[in-house]
Structure 1
Amino acid sequence: MYSDSIVLIPTYNERENIAKMIDTVMALPHAFDLLIIDDNSPDGTASIVREKIAQYPKRLHLLERAGKQGLGTAYIAGFRWALERPYLYIYEMDCDFSHPPTKLMELYEACHKGGADVAVGSRYISGGRVKNWPLGRIAMSYGASLYVRVITGLPVKDTTAGFVCYRREVLESMELDQIRFRGYGFQIEMKYTAHCLGFKVVEVPITFEDRVLGSSKMSSSIFGEAFLGVLDLRRDKMKGTFPKGKRKV
C-alpha cells in the first residue's frame, strides 16, 4: 500500500544526516514515503539507508547509482521511479536539513487543497528567510533568482529553490529526457518548464538554514551552467522549441 506522497532525497556522503532525516520525515503527521537516491557514497550512506529500511519496510526505498552523476540526473531517475508507482505528489528536498522537513506539510496542502500544481519552498517571499549564510552568499543566491526572473519572466522569486512538490500530472506532462541541466540549473529549468506548460507554480515561505553536518556540494561550475543556460532557455522559448511536453488543458 503506497502513500499518495513520495519524497525524493539525492545523497552523496550524507552519513551524518541520513538516519535523522529519515526518522524525521517518517514521524510527520502525513504519511510520506521516502526514496533515497544514492550516488555510490564512499562514506556508507547507502548502508545506513538499508538498515533503516528494516525499520520502515513499506515506506522507505533506496535507488543506488554507480557514481556521482549530478543532481539533475538523480532527480530524473527518482521521478521515473515514482511515476512507475501510484504517487500523486512527488517532492524534492535536500538531506542536510537546510529544507525544514515540517514544511513538507505546507507544500502538500498547497497542491492537495490550495490549487497549486507546483509548490516551492521559498526563501525570498514574505515570511521566508535564510539563516547562517554569509551576506555574500545570500546576495549571490538572491541575485541569481532575480537574474532568472529578468531573463525569463518566470513569476517565481526563489527560482533556484530545491524544496519542491510536483503534482503527478506536471511530471507526466514533461519530456523528462529533454531536461538539459545537471546541476542547480536543473531547478530553474524544471520550474520554467512547468510554468511554460501552463501549470500553476506557488511559493510557500520557509526558513532555509545552512547545513550543520557534512560538506556542501556547491561549486562555481554549477553557477556557470545556470547563468549561461538561462539565456539558452529564453532563446529557445522565443524560437518555439522550448518547452517540450504536453500543455495543461
Structure 2
Amino acid sequence: MSTPDRGEYPGVGRVLVIIPTYNEADNIRPIVQRVRAATPTADILIADDNSPDGTGRIADELSAGDQHIHVLHRPGKQGLGAAYMAGFAWGTDHDYDAVVEMDADGSHAPEELPRLLDALGEADVVLGSRYVKGGTTVGWPFHRHLISRSGNLYVRMALGMPFRDATGGYRAYRTPVLSKIEIESIASQGYCFQVDLAWRSYHNGFRVEEVPITFTERQRGHSKMSSTIVGEALWLVTVWGARARWETLRRGIAGGGPRTQRRDARAGARQGG
C-alpha cells in the first residue's frame, strides 16, 4: 500500500481543522497539541475574535513554531457562525479538500477526529453525534440533556431530517459542499448555525453520515451558549420547516418531486465541484 503524501489524510486529502476562539487562553495550547498528536497530517486554523485575554498572542506563538498551525485574526467578537464562515473561506482559498469544526474548550476530543475523517472518505458531510449508538455526554446536568435532546427531536420533526444530533458542533465537510449550499447567505449563529448547515447539506442531496462522539463539558472558561441563541434556533427551524412543507406541496401540485437535485449535488461534491 502506498504512503499518502505528507499533509493529506488518506481518502480525504488536505484537511483543515478550524478552531474559533474568544477568551480561550487557558485552553488553546492543550487543544492544539492534542489535534497535532491525533492527526499529524491535518493543518489547524485558529480563528480568534480579538480575545482580550491574549488568546491571539498565544495562537501566534504556536503558529511560529509549527508550519501546520495558522492564525486568522478577526476584529472583534462576531459570533461562532461568522468565525466558521471566515474559516471556511480561508480553507477554500488555500485549496483544502475538507474542513473540520472543533471547539477550543476540549469538549470535542481531538482523539476522535480520525473517526470523522475516516467516515468522510465515503461521505460528503460527517456529523459527530452524541445521540447515536456509542455517543455520549460527560458532565452535563439533567436539564442540559433534556434541552439538547428535546431540541434535536424538534429539529427532526420540523425539518424531516433523520439525524439524531443536528445541533452539535463537531463535524467535517468536503469543501465543494460549502459552495453548493451557499453558505454566504447564512446569517444565524451558534446552535442554529449548525442546524442550518446540516439542513442545507441534507436538503441539497449530499450524503451526510453521523458517527458517535463523546462530548465533555468544558473544565475551564465559560460557555458561549445563551437563551437568545436557543430562542433564535427554535424560531428559525419552525420557519424553515413551514417553508419546506409549502415547497413540497407546491411541487406536488406542479407534478414535480421534492428531491430532484439530490443525486446531482452529491455527484458534484464528490468530483470537487
> What interval of TM-score do these two structures reach, taking the shorter chain for normalisation?
over 0.9
1:104 paired residue number: 113
1:36 paired residue number: 46
Structure 1 CA distance for aligned equivalents of residues 97 and 213 of structure 2: 23
Offset, 1:23: 1.1
Structure 2 CA distance for aligned equivalents of residues 53 and 77 of structure 1: 18
Offset, 1:51: 0.6
Offset, 1:89: 1.3
For structure 2, list consecutive stretches of 5 or more residues without a partner in the other structure: 1-5, 9-13, 249-257, 259-263, 268-273
2:125 paired residue number: 118
For structure 1, list consecutive stretches of 5 or more residues without a partner in the other structure: none
Structure 1 CA distance for aligned equivalents of residues 246 and 87 of structure 2: 30
Contact 2:156–2:163 (Cα < 8 Å) also in 1: yes
Offset, 1:30: 4.2
TM norm structure 1: 0.93
2:91 paired residue number: 82
Moved more, 146-155 or 19-28: 19-28
Structure 2 CA distance for aligned equivalents of residues 16 and 175 of structure 1: 35
1:226 paired residue number: 233
TM norm structure 2: 0.85
Note if 1:213 corresponds to 2:220: yes
Offset, 1:239: 4.4
Offset, 1:60: 0.7
Contact 1:132–1:210 (Cα < 8 Å) also in 2: yes
Structure 2 CA distance for aligned equivalents of residues 219 and 29 of structure 1: 32
Give the secondary structure class of the aligned counterpart of 2:230.
helix
Contact 1:82–1:90 (Cα < 8 Å) also in 2: yes
Alignment of 1:60-209 (within 5 A): 60-112=69-121, 115-209=122-216
Contact 1:2–1:87 (Cα < 8 Å) also in 2: no
Note if 1:8 corresponds to 2:18: yes
Give the secondary structure class of the aligned counterpart of 2:266.
coil
Structure 2 CA distance for aligned equivalents of residues 28 and 132 of structure 1: 23
- Report the structure number with the largest CA radius of gyration: 2
Count of aligned pairs: 246
Contact 1:146–1:157 (Cα < 8 Å) also in 2: yes
Q: CA RMSD in A?
A: 2.1
Structure 1 CA distance for aligned equivalents of residues 30 and 37 of structure 2: 11
Give the secondary structure class of the aligned counterpart of 1:23.
helix
Moved more, 47-56 or 233-242: 233-242
Superimposed CA distance per residue, residues 68-96 of structure 1 (whole angstroms, 9 cap, x where no aligned partner): 11111111111111001121111001011
Contact 1:129–1:206 (Cα < 8 Å) also in 2: yes
Structure 2 CA distance for aligned equivalents of residues 123 and 248 of structure 1: 25
More helix by share: 2
Q: Which amino acid aligns with 1:184?
A: Y
